[in-house]
Amino acid sequence: MIPGKEVWYDWGGLNVWLFTLINAVHGDFYDQAMLVLTRAADYHNFPYYFTGLFCLATVLLIIRSARKQGGTGAHATIWFGVFAMLAAGFGLTTVVVKTSKAHFAYPRPYIALEHVRVPDYQAGKTDDHHSFPSGHTAFATLMVISLWPVIPGELGFAGILFIAGVAWSRVALGMHFPADVLASIIVMTPLLLILRAILYSLLLRIFGMRC
């Protein structure tokens, strides 16, 4: 047992209490909404998101160029930085999450608690002891931080809500405890921000690209 687990993970029983409180809420529309949020943050979707964003960026740049709005080169550079961050950040997130899950091997709620049922889409899978940290929440954090330079200011809050929504959905669906999703945000946010700072600095020094 890791020293201090009852403090930093169990929170003196508060972790389980909060999980029970959140997971007790159910309803047809609510459960479907939670499932949609969870599926949206599945890391297996990364190739589709990357390809879709590349197509979007290409179309936006073509439109800007056709309208002769100017600044096409600068926008192209910003998008290049976004894609570089997505690729590097996905690698970092995968390593951190998978290494942590294997090291801690904490049981998911439906294993640790008797009253929690196994979600239908989880039945038959072999990661019952990979609760800490939440990979879905980490992936949502990666996407928002990577895309932040191209997210319009008024939509920035929507990105934060997306991370919070995914984190909530993982608890609501019985896949994670609150400590699992909170740890993903607390750990991955500074790591990804540091990675972006290093990556952008390298792009500026080596290629003169100001992302």
Q: What is 167-210 written as a DSSP string?
A: HHHHHHTTS--HHHHHHHHHHHHHHHHHHHHHHHHHHHHHH---
Give 86-142 pLDDT, tens digit per residue: 999 999 999 999 999 999 999 999 999 988 877 777 766 778 999 999 999 999 999
Q: Specify if 25 maps to a domain.
A: no
The answer to whether residue 10 is domain-embedded is no
| Mean of pLDDT over the chain | 93
Q: Which residues contact 45 (CB under 8 A, 6 or more apart)?
A: 39
The answer to the question of residue 174 being in a domain is yes
210, 154 in Cβ contact below 8 A?
no
Question: Does residue 147 form part of some domain?
Answer: yes
Question: Range of 181's domain?
Answer: 31-67+76-207
Q: Report the percentage of the chain scoring pLDDT > 70.
A: 97
Give the closest residue to 211 by CA, choosing from 52, 48, 88, 90.
88
Asked whether residue 7 is assigned to any structural domain, the reply reads no
Residue 72's pLDDT is: 84
Secondary structure (H, E, C), the chain: CCCCHHHHCCHHHHHHHHHHHHHCCCCHHHHHHHHHHHHHCCHHHHHHHHHHHHHHHHHHHHHHHHCCCCCHHHHHHHHHHHHHHHHHHHHHHHHHHHHHHHHHCCCCHHHHCCCCCCCHHHCCCCCCCCCCCCHHHHHHHHHHHHHHHHCCHHHHHHHHHHHHHHHHHHHHCCCCCHHHHHHHHHHHHHHHHHHHHHHHHHHHHHHCCCC
Q: How many CB atoms lie within 10 A of CB 204?
A: 14
In a domain, 55, yes or no: yes
Q: What is the mean pLDDT of residues 36-40?
A: 96
> Residue 140 domain-assigned?
yes
Which pLDDT value is given to residue 154?
A: 81
Q: Which tokens in the block code for residue 184?
A: 């993903």
Does residue 17 lie in a domain region? Answer: no
Q: Which residue has the tokens 């740890």?
A: 183
What confidence category does residue 1 fall into, taking pLDDT thresholds of 50, 70 and 90? very low
Q: For the segment 43-82, what is each residue's pLDDT rounded down to a tens digit?
A: 999 999 999 999 999 999 999 888 877 778 899 999 999 9
- 208 falls in which pLDDT band (50, 70, 90)? confident
Confidence band for 2, pLDDT divided at 50, 70 and 90? low
Comparing 205 with 123, the larger pLDDT belongs to: 205
pLDDT over 90 (residue 158): yes
Mean pLDDT of 179-204: 97
Res 50: pLDDT: 98
When pLDDT is cut at 50, 70 and 90, the band that residue 3 belongs to is low
CB-CB neighbours of 61 under 10 Å: 15
The whole-angstrom separation of Cα 129 and Cα 147 is 31
Would the CA dihedral through 53, 59, 65, 69 be positive or negative?
negative
Query: How do residues 4-31 score in pLDDT, each as one tens digit?
Result: 888 999 999 999 999 999 999 999 999 9
Q: How many domains does the chain have?
A: 1
